Structure 1
Amino acid sequence: MRIGLLQCDDVAPELRGTHGNYPEMFERLFHRVDPGLEFRVWRCLDGEIPDDVDAVDAWLTTGSKFGVNDGLAWVDALEAFVRRLWVAGKPLVGICFGHQLMARALGGEVAKSARGWGVGLSFNRVLEQADWMTPWQAGLDLVVSHQDQVERLPPGARVLAGSDFCPFYLMQMGEHFLGVQGHPEFSKAYSRDLMGLRRDLVGDNRVREGKASLSAPVDDTLMVRWILNFMKRAMEGGGDDG
């Protein structure tokens, strides 16, 4: 499978030497599940937006320190490309910022959460079992780092997992769009270092809570298996009754 990575940010220079940049994070994690995957990267944050929806088999959008409501020209251009993927029926999975961008592109709303920053590990209930969720489990716990989140779903979206903090954590749109607020590509070590870097923004108490949450197991490999199952199913044009 050829996956197009729509890169929407760079890891901070202070952390890049230790943890790598976003493409390395995704490749390292996904290759643990399927070493044969091929990645092609578009640096959307530099205005490099794909012009061919069929350039790869499936698409993946990274997170970003930028917001979907920031009014940036490259974000608007990427949103237009997301709508092209939707019309073309191409598989797309959005991570954090990508999740939010998909929602907004299809008519949802994104805003800063009144609950403040989500950092560390998030604990979510799986509300609906889709048949690509194999192996199955009833919870989905991933590293997060966000202020913005989806506040109103796009028409027809199905919420598959959520929590009181982030009700629309995992959502499916049609048979080929999937968005998740968490970061399966973030290691616990990177999460810890990122919280340290953003302490002034996030706040001491929230950082303390976030670091404590990292003692729990994380479902990063499970999420990758679900993503690849979803992509393959979408490529085959298979339906899902949920």
Structure 2
Amino acid sequence: MGNGQHFAADILFVIFHPFPKFFRVFALEDFIRALVASEVPTVGICFGHQIMAQAMGGKAAKYSGGWGIGRRAYVMTETGEDVHLLSFHQDQVLEAPKGADVFMSSDFCKIGGLKYSPTCYSLQPHPEHTVSFMADLIESRRGTVVPEDIADKAMASLNQPNDQARFGQMMVDVLDRDLRL
């Protein structure tokens, strides 16, 4: 890390689920700001997307439009290309931080992906999930956390092609410092 600061690991995975209203995230937000300021390769996914945006001055909260589950369509804002990724969320980024570029959007999730610097990105969907993992996740929440009708629609969407592998590789490339969006 720049300015004489160093981290013990090259890659840090922080996993939280769901957006914890009770969890004290101030130290994590400070850590994120330090990563972004120093352009340490960083990728935030789902809660990582939300907490990165919040740390950088944006706003994340429970979305009034409900659940975003299953295969969802997004548009790459620079190229207009349609991409399809797996999602599982109610919370999302509602206001982008100043200085961050929205690189991916949808009607349901306007701020689906953010670029903070050439080495720091975040996105709401889950490029790391497989279809089988997503199916198991949906079924495990069916009728309890996720209403039956939403689970049915999400499960049906999983039969369609997706861009998981390509986006997963893009996130690896960010961490390898070679992303070219």
Pair in the same fold by TM > 0.5: yes
When normalised by structure 1's length, the TM-score is: 0.66
1:226 maps onto 2:153 in alignment? no
| CA contact 2:36–2:116 (8 Å) conserved in 1 | no
Aligned to 1:116: 66
- Pick from 99, 108, 125: which aligns with 1:156? 99
1:1-242 alignment runs, 5 A limit: 53-62=6-15, 64-67=16-19, 70-73=21-24, 75-129=25-79, 138-199=81-142, 200-233=144-177
Q: Deviations over 1:174-227 (max 9, x none)?
A: 222100111112111121121122122221111111001001112111012212
How far off is 1:58 after superposition?
A: 4.8
Whichever residue aligns with residue 214 of structure 1, its letter is L
Partners of 2:55 and 2:18 in 1: CA distance: 16
Partners of 1:207 and 1:152 in 2: CA distance: 27
Partners of 1:95 and 1:53 in 2: CA distance: 23
| CA contact 1:184–1:220 (8 Å) conserved in 2 | yes
- Give ranges in structure 1 of 5+ residues lacking alignment: 1-51, 130-136
How many residue pairs get matched?
176
When normalised by structure 2's length, the TM-score is: 0.87
Q: Deviations over 1:91-119 (max 9, x none)?
A: 11001000111000000000111110111
Which one has a larger percent helix, Structure 1 or Structure 2? 1
Whichever residue aligns with residue 109 of structure 1, its letter is K
Instruction: Give the 3-state SS of the residue equivalent to 1:202 in structure 2.
Output: coil
| CA contact 2:42–2:174 (8 Å) conserved in 1 | no
Identity of aligned residues (%): 34
